[in-house]
Chain A
Amino acid sequence: KAGVTQTPRYLIKTRGQQVTLSCSPISGHRSVSWYQQTPGQGLQFLFEYFSETQRNKGNFPGRFSGRQFSNSRSEMNVSTLELGDSALYLCASSLGTSGSRGTQYFGPGTRLTVL
Chain B
Amino acid sequence: SQELEQSPQSLIVQEGKNLTINCTSSKTLYGLYWYKQKYGEGLIFLMMLQKGGEEKSHEKITAKLDEKKQQSSLHITASQPSHAGIYLCGADIGAGNNRKLIWGLGTSLAVNP
Residues of chain A whose beta carbon lies under 8 Å from any beta carbon of chain B: 4, 6, 42-43, 45, 56, 88, 90, 92, 101, 103-109, 111
Inter-chain contacts of B42 with A (CB < 8 A): 4, 6, 90, 106-109
A-B contacts at CB below 8 angstroms, number: 38
Q: Quick check: which of B17-25, B60-68, B71-79, B103-111 contacts chain A, the rest being far away?
A: B103-111
**Is the pair B48, A103 in contact by a Cβ cutoff of 8 Å?**
yes
Q: A105: which B residues are within 8 A, CB to CB?
A: 45
Where the two chains meet, the residues of B that have a C-beta atom closer than 8 Å to any C-beta of A are 33, 35, 40-45, 48, 88, 90, 100-101, 103-106
Given contact pairs A43-B88, A103-B48, A106-B35, A56 touches B100 in the complex (Cβ within 8 A): yes
Chain B contacts for A106, CB-based, 8 A: 35, 42-45
Contacts of B100 in A (CB 8 A): 45, 56
The main secondary structure of chain B at its interface with chain A is strand
* A104, B100: Cα distance in complex, Å: 13
Q: Which residue of A lies closest to B47 (CB)?
A: A103
* Pairwise interchain contact B41-A101, C-beta atoms closer than 8 A: no
Contact A111 B40 (CB under 8 A): yes
Closest 3 pairs (CB-CB, A-B): A106-B42, A106-B43, A43-B103
- Name the contact of B41 in the complex, choosing from A43, A45, A103, A108 (C-beta under 8 A): A108
Closest to B31 in A: A103
A89 smallest CB distance to B (angstroms)? 11
The interface residues of chain A lying within 8 Å CB-to-CB of B45 are 103-106
List 6 other contacts, CB 8 Å, given A42-B104, A106-B45, A107-B42: A4-B42, A43-B103, A90-B42, A101-B101, A104-B101, A108-B42
